[in-house]
Amino acid sequence: RESKDQLVIDAGQKHFGAITCRSCGMIYTAANPEDETQHIKYHQRFMEGIKFVGWKKEHIVAKFWNGKIIMIQPDDPKYAIKKAEEVRELVDNELGFKQTTLTCPNKTVTYLYISNEKKIVGCLIAEQIKKAFQVLPDTVSYEVQTLEIMERHRAWRCSTIPQTAVCGISRVWVFSLMRRRGIASRMVDAVRATFMYGSYLSTNEIAFSDPTPDGKLFATKYCKV
Ligand code: ACO
Ligand code: ZN
């Protein structure tokens, strides 16, 4: 009897603590049924959302050893726009953004980083803008917020002197288990090379809107390079 109890306890302990799902990246407690249910729900939605079947007409803007970047523009076929929206919903969900529609869909370009395994591991949404306000330094930082976003939140202290910017990055996201491998940097490089036909945008001409702490760290580093 004693050894049986022991077995039960051991089996239970295996499930204590946090588990990170290697497919969807969610951290959950396996011993907690509510957590497990949450995970299954999230897992299915996430896996469906990041699945990329491939299209006949793909606008590939860059290729790398571990994947490629495709661009989706407002006048692209419906299936492409739909996929971009699906990914944006996943990203917004993770970022805690409640806004469900874009301010200006006809000026929005989506960049997706597709892995060789045909999964979307990165997403960047860029919008055409005219003005941006530099975030005032905690330390010295170069990222700026777009006017529209700034009116909604005032998360960071901003300069009141507008700067001319061409491209606002409203969202940049990389799959949690693939971060710190240069994926976001490559997506921003792709934006700078392709957002405005015939010119390579300088870091002063791009603005990160309403950055999260991760986004701020990334943008600060990227813009200094
Ligand atoms: N902490 C500190 N430095 C960072 C971080 C971080 N979390 N992320 C990036 N950096 C810096 C590093 O110096 C890094 O170089 P290193 O790894 O050689 O040190 C450099 O930026 C380049 O980083 P990348 O590898 O290109 O960035 P990554 O692919 O990891 O993506 C991102 C960064 C998009 C911010 C990712 O962490 C993420 O998806 N976070 C969750 C979603 C999010 O908060 N997105 C930003 C929202 S704000 C907005 O969209 C405008
Ligand atoms: Zn999972």
Q: Is 173 in the pocket of ligand 1 (CB under 6 A)?
A: yes
d(Cα 32, Cα 207) in Å, to the nearest integer? 42
pLDDT over threshold 90, residue 99: no
Quick one: pLDDT band at residue 161, thresholds 50, 70, 90?
A: confident
pTM, 2 dp: 0.85
Q: Which pLDDT score is estimated for 123?
A: 98
pLDDT, tens only, 167-206: 999 999 999 999 999 999 999 999 999 999 899 999 989 9
Centre of ligand 1 to C-alpha 162, Å, is 26
The residues that bridge with 29 in the sheet, in sequence order, are 18
The reported pLDDT for the residue numbered 1 is 46
Can you tell me the ipTM of this complex? 0.98
Token reading at 212: 């999260």
Q: Which residues of 183-200 are buried (b: 16+ CB within 10 A; e: fewer)?
A: bbebbbbbbbebbeeeee
With b for 16 or more beta-carbon neighbours within 10 A and e for fewer, the 12-51 pattern comes to eeeeeeebebeebbbebeeeeeebeeebeebbeebeebbe
pLDDT in tens, 166-176: 899 999 999 99
Q: Which pLDDT value is given to residue 31?
A: 85
**Residue 98: what pLDDT?**
76
107 Cα: distance to centroid of ligand 1 (angstroms): 25
